[in-house]
Amino acid sequence: MRFRHKAAAGLATLLLPLSGLVALASPAQAADSATATYTKTQDWGSGFEGKWTVKNTGTTPLNSWTVEWDFPAGTRVTSAWDATVTNSGDHWTAKNLGWNGTLAPGASISFGFNGSGSGSPSGCKLNGGSCDGSSVPGDKAPSAPGTPTASNITDTSVRLSWSAATDDKGVKNYDVLRDGARVATVTGTSYTDTGLAKGTDYSYAVQARDTADQTGPVSGSVKVRTTGNTEEPPPTGDKVKLGYFTEWGVYGRNYHVKNLVTSGSASKITHINYAFGNVKNGQCTVDDTFAAYEKAYTADQSVSGTADTWDQPLRGNFNQLRQLKAKYPHIKVLYSFGGWTYSGGFGQAAQNAAAFAKSCKQVVEDPRWADVFDGIDIDWEYPNACGLTCDTSGPAAFRTLSQALRAEFGKDYLVTAAITADASAGGKIDAADYGGAAQYLDWYNVMTYDYFGAWDRTGPTAPHSPLTSYNGIPQEAFNSAAAIAKLKAKGVPASKLLLGIGFYGRGWTGVTQSAPGGTATGPAAGTYEAGIEDYKILKNSCPATGTIAGTAYAHCGTNWWSYDTPATINSKMAWAKNQGLGGAFFWEFSGDTANGELVNAIDGGLK
């Protein structure tokens, strides 16, 4: 998807909310020759700026760190950066973020905060030991217990049991986690959870506590569905209706999983692609850990209406998606890796496809969120072709990668791919073996948009998502019908092809001609990027004035835009059904209106 890139806000230093919540991180190991020192870097009378520096003075890596201290009454932290800082009364705790927890021997890391009051910290502890390194607890955290097994499942209860964890000084008890939140602490290795809703999906895991109250890693998770009738929303039909949810949308766009509920979209879709995981060094990786699983949500921001707690193992988008699936059990979620910006990493991944697939499954099945994801989507947008970079992996690489993913994930997971819609002779569809790879994939998201746009600064103006060809189209075979026909000809079943819809428009400025084919002077202004704008903005700022090749266009002032409307989506869905396609997908949720009118059009058009 041509314009997918990470918002700058996702990379910037974050000022974190201080509502008694901590970041998800592996339990801090006991301090082993490490120190934490405090400096007041600024003082303006009524407030100050403080800085803690954690240094590994030992000979082995420090994998995570937690600094604790006490402030006198009246002194408190008001904002923080490069750590998640929380409090219980006057006791304050700072934990590393996902990117700065590991310290090599001799390395150091600093985090800072603004404070109010005039007091100084006391009682400092680093990973449970003294901050000056003079005392080291020497108490290792317990191991992970065994993955729970479920039995005696009823409408409202389930019995869980697990194998014991080990610890050098003894295990005191176990925390039982339901959907990532602690529901009980028990001394034995079994627990019966009651008061559940009938016909509902739950996920359970456990974690051990030792005699020093250190927690170990979380066990694997088990999925449980209680018996009885479900209150699942009405069936959405047999067609796939899939939307992309962007990881970085929680920043500048202020779009969150709960928006799928308030817009009414959640009841009208069947699948969500969570975008994007990164592809680095031939492996799948989580891209923005803060947005993915560390960001804290208040009660009014969350799908469940319950605030995140300081000690829950999972927060962020992943926990919100878990809550969404509990509310709408029909929705399946896939973790999407790649995209336009990160597709350059697939060439190295294809060199050892089996290792790549294994790394992807480790991310998707991470015990903290294994119940969230039902499959994997690979957005390798230009295999053996040029895009943001040029790939020379060869025509067989895409098929090889697809085969390895299916072998690793097996039949119980969805394995899909977003692919090019360039049907020109010798174009991107011809560059890779999409026909051969189809046997390993559940479906293709055919990106039938971004055919034309203001990267051609002077035009000619043309709809970026034409359904069919038309007289004067700037390039033949740059349309949805040609792409679908070519993929069918290569042996891809129609039922494995989803038609792509963009929830945005592409536009030029300096245009005097209303009809397509006019000249321009450059890209029109956009909220986030020149030449592109969300549908929710365009429907009011530049209403459609015509339709060409099944796509709306608009000429307002000197600007010319093309985008899909509910009416053009209805016609495209009718065409998709007539072609026997498996359904449709769209990029991406936040471009729609607050009441989800484009999602509603896709749903209605595919029924």
Q: How many residues does the chain have?
A: 607
CA dihedral (439, 444, 448, 450) positive or negative: negative
d(CA 494, CA 444): 10
Structure tokens at 178: 């339901």
Q: Which of 68, 247, 381, 533 is catalytic?
A: 381
Neighbours of 551 (CB within 10 A): 31
Question: What DSSP state is assigned to residue 267?
Answer: G
Residue (of 256, 316, 253) closest to 286 by Cα position: 316
Structure tokens at 523: 């890209």
381 is catalytic: yes
Residue (of 250, 241, 245, 275) closest to 260 by Cα position: 245
d(CA 531, CA 548): 19
d(CA 415, CA 411): 9
Tally of CA atoms within 13 A in the half-sphere of 590 that contains its CB: 19
Structure tokens at 146: 């065994």
Pairing between β-strand 332-338 and β-strand 283-285 as defined by DSSP bridges:
unpaired
d(CA 372, CA 478): 36
d(CA 332, CA 338): 19
Three-class SS state of 563: strand
Pairing between β-strand 66-70 and β-strand 91-95 as defined by DSSP bridges:
antiparallel
Structure tokens at 36: 């934490």
Q: Which residue is associated with the tokens 């560059």?
A: 431
d(CA 354, CA 360): 10
Q: Is 123 left (phi over 0), alpha (psi -120 to 50) or beta?
A: left
Beta bridge partners of 46: none
∠ Cα 400 403 409 (to 5°): 140
Residue (of 335, 397, 420, 410) closest to 371 by Cα position: 335
Residue (of 540, 441, 424, 530) closest to 479 by Cα position: 424
The residues that are catalytic are: 381
